[in-house]
Amino acid sequence: MEILEFGNPKQEKIILIHGFESPYQIWDDYVEYYKNDYCLIVPILTGHNINEDTDFESFEKCVKELEDYYVKKHGNKVFAIYGMSMGGVFASILWQHQNIKISKLIMESSPLLGFENVMVSILTKQYLTITHKAQAGDKKTVRGAVDSMVTEDKLEIFMELLNHISDTTITNYIKEIGKHKLPANINTPETEIYYLYGGKINEILFKKVAKFIEKNYQNSNTICFKRKGHCEDALLKPQEHIKVLNEILKI
């Protein structure tokens, strides 16, 4: 797993973790905004690096790679971690391990309560089908990504990723997400927890995650973006979303 760094290495650290089938370049606007005041650590999750042929195997393996890298270079404390969608699953495992002490943990529309095997099978088939259509150049599928997953200027980068990602990586990610369930008793009173999600009907699963976090973690805050879809502003309107993050980071 390749790990990139931007900004001032002497400043507080923020780890930014992208989502499934999402290019790491979605963080470009965030890096540009925060690079003068923070050190930004951006892992390119396994299977998402167009310059590598490695397939994703497990979250535990990826998390250990990041932990080993970060602790060796920056110590065992981090100011903030922001995991978008599947990146929040990654972030929640970092939190659970407690090898890195997190001041602010931000997870957005992240599936943290697992899926039944039937749903894993359905989602795997769905993602494989959509990815194969995009790889074949289906115009409707490709254009649909601009309205939901990437901005127009990142469409080419997004397509490069989809053309690179393997069926094995897709299958393993969905399987790993399906079996991951956030514990209800992680004891980290030093960590402020923020869970963000949209208000549209397709975000109902993430509303359940928000309620779970509210119930089990007193030091948590949940934010619902009314009439918004999956990571909508985070992906498509980063300048607007940065304002929300500034409130959380207390800038």
Residue 178 — pLDDT band, cuts 50, 70, 90?
very high
What does residue 194 show for φ and ψ, rounded to 5 degrees? -125, 125
pLDDT of 143:
87
pLDDT of 144:
86
pLDDT of 111:
97
Q: Measure CA 142 to chain center.
A: 21
pLDDT of 59:
96
The SS3 of residue 221 is strand
pLDDT of 145:
87
pLDDT of 147:
80
Is the pLDDT confidence value at 251 over 80?
no
pTM of the model: 0.96
Measure the CA–CA gap between 171 and 175, rounded to whole angstroms. Answer: 6
For 10-26, the pLDDT digits (tens) are 999 999 999 999 999 99
Classify residue 196 by its DSSP letter: E
Under 8 Å between Cβ of 23 and 49: no
For 142-162, the pLDDT digits (tens) are 988 888 899 999 999 999 999
The percent of residues above 70 in pLDDT, for the chain, comes to 100
pLDDT of 148:
87
Q: Which residues contact 246 (CB under 8 A, 6 or more apart)?
A: none
In the predicted model, what is the mean pLDDT of the chain? 96
For 27-79, the pLDDT digits (tens) are 999 999 999 999 999 999 999 999 999 999 999 999 999 999 999 999 999 99
Is the pLDDT confidence value at 250 over 80?
yes
Tokens of 97: 């391990």
The SS3 of residue 244 is helix
